[in-house]
């Protein structure tokens, strides 16, 4: 690669792509974001729809490691003030409502970041605003259809036949990435077997039934898990969702399923009705969800890739494009933010030459860390899976209680929450 500041093309203006663009801007490295979706309209730009099936809705958890990156981008305060701040999640038995244990969601002795449950659309809006303020170039309605790596750069072709050549291309284009084919051809995500279904309710709608809930909390049932996660700063709105085992479908069938609000509402109320294992708070929550705001999100996992950079060293993938992690440990966005911040630092360090070994170093470090996060996510996902009998469910609750007690709720998580991207 030539000894000049690279011109970076970022494919995808989601959370990871925006974080990378802002991180590069801090290093005075020019970049352009290319986003398939159209630009938000002037009237709708400040309006956040949290539960929409278009990939920009729903809620997400941001742990201290993610918030540390957002703080450096100047986006932390808006996210903190727009979501619910918490230090721990309580695990409860759906059978008895008794507390099984507590999972801490902060790092001991660090800056004091608390985890935040917040609307994904709000986080993206804040990052888009920061990008606009700083003059980051974003091309909306730009669907990538072809990518060719040469010895001098990367040629990109978009759906409107626009041709672009960049020194370096970063794919931040999500689980079903187009850019990934230039790094690991044929690598495709696989359905995990679990789908989340839920929506927002107010604490007023729950009434006195909320008093038995240690929110934010997850209730473990024999058939599935059910979560109550406050998601507004005052805690008045609660994101409630079930994680259920649902058969796989084609992408077209999933799209139909996710848009069928009547079926989604019936699925929730039928599985969590009176006379089932679920307590009144869950039954009430499922009844009270506004049908128009209900949403479903099948979770996918990407088989571990052998690399995140292409053979020629001019194409890199980050976030879900590189390691598609299910949401069970609340680290999907966090890993994308870490990828972005650390990659920007390496690109800046190699702007005067020698970028290839720096990318190799970045890749090795990120792959090692991602493996630990994937292992953690698998453990969390297993706790949400159905148990064949009540006996098996009781044993699972006992084992979880013992594990959380032994680790004092923290589960030795400083390696995750205390991570500092500047340490690489």
| pLDDT tens digits along 128-141 | 999 999 999 999 99
Residue 240 falls within a domain, yes or no? no
pLDDT band at 340 (very low <50, low <70, confident <90, very high): very high
Alpha-helical segments (H) within 83-168:
120-133
pLDDT of residue 48: 42
CB-based contact 86:105 (threshold 8 Å): yes
Which percentage of the chain shows pLDDT scores above 70? 85
Domain that holds residue 374: 8-189+302-423
Which run of H or of E encompasses 206?
Answer: helix 203-206
Residue 331 falls within a domain, yes or no? yes
Q: Encode pLDDT of 297-307 as tens digits.
A: 999 989 999 99
Residue 294 falls within a domain, yes or no? no
Return the C-alpha torsion angle 89, 91, 97, 99, nearest 10: -90
pLDDT of residue 72: 97
Domain count for the chain: 1
Question: Which residues are bridge partners to 261 per DSSP?
Answer: none
Residue 417 falls within a domain, yes or no? yes
- Phi-psi label, residue 141: left if phi above 0, alpha if psi -120 to 50, beta otherwise: left
The CATH number linked to 312 is 3.50.50.60
Residue 231 falls within a domain, yes or no? no
**Rounded to whole angstroms, what are the CA distances from 333 to 182, 200, 278, 423?**
23, 21, 31, 19
Q: At what angle do helices 355-383 and 332-349 cross, to 10 degrees?
A: 170
Residue 145 falls within a domain, yes or no? yes
Residue 2 falls within a domain, yes or no? no
pLDDT of residue 232: 94
**Rounded to whole angstroms, what are the CA distances from 257 to 77, 84, 114?**
36, 29, 35
pLDDT of residue 56: 58
Residue 261 falls within a domain, yes or no? no
Q: Encode pLDDT of 77-98 as tens digits.
A: 999 999 999 999 999 999 889 9
Provide the edge-to-edge strand list for the sheet that holds 84-86.
59-62, 115-119, 84-86
């Amino acid at each position: 690669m030539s000894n000049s500041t690279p011109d970076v093309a970022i494919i995808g203006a989601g959370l990871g792509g925006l974080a990378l663009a802002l991180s590069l801007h801090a290093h005075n490295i020019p970049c352009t974001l290319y986003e398939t979706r159209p630009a938000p309209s002037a009237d709708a730009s400040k309006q956040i729809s949290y539960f929409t099936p278009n990939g920009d809705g729903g809620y997400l958890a941001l742990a201290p490691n993610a918030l540390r990156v957002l703080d450096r981008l100047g986006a932390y305060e808006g996210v903190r003030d727009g979501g619910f701040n918490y230090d721990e999640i309580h695990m409860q038995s759906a059978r008895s409502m008794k507390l099984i244990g507590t999972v801490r969601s902060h790092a001991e002795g660090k800056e004091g970041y608390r985890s935040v449950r917040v609307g994904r659309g709000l986080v993206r809006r804040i990052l888009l605003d920061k990008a606009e303020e700083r003059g980051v170039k974003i091309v909306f309605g730009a669907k990538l259809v072809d990518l060719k790596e040469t010895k001098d750069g990367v040629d990109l072709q978009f759906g409107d036949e626009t041709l672009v050549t960049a020194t370096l291309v970063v794919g931040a284009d999500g689980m079903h990435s187009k850019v990934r084919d230039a790094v690991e051809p044929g690598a495709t995500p696989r359905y995990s077997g679990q789908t989340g279904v839920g929506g927002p309710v107010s604490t007023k709608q729950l009434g006195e039934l909320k008093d038995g809930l240690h929110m934010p909390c997850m209730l473990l049932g024999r058939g599935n898990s059910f979560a109550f996660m406050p998601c507004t700063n005052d805690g008045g709105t609660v994101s409630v969702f079930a994680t259920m085992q649902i058969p796989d479908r084609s992408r077209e069938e999933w799209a139909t399923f996710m848009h069928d609000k009547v079926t989604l509402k019936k699925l929730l109320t039928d599985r969590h009705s009176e006379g089932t294992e679920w307590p009144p708070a869950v039954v009430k929550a499922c009844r009270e969800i506004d049908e128009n705001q209900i949403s479903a999100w099948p979770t996918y996992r990407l088989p571990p890739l052998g690399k995140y950079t292409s053979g020629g060293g001019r194409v890199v993938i980050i976030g879900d494009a590189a390691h598609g992690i299910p949401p069970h440990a609340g680290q999907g966005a966090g890993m994308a933010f870490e990828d972005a911040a650390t990659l920007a630092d390496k690109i800046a360090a190699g702007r005067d030459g020698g970028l290839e070994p720096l990318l190799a170093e970045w890749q090795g470090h990120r792959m090692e860390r991602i493996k630990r996060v994937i292992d953690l996510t698998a453990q969390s996902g297993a706790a949400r899976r159905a148990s064949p009998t009540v006996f098996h469910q009781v044993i699972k609750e006992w084992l979880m209680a013992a594990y959380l007690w032994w680790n004092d709720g923290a589960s030795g998580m400083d390696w995750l929450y205390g991570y500092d991207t500047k340490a690489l």
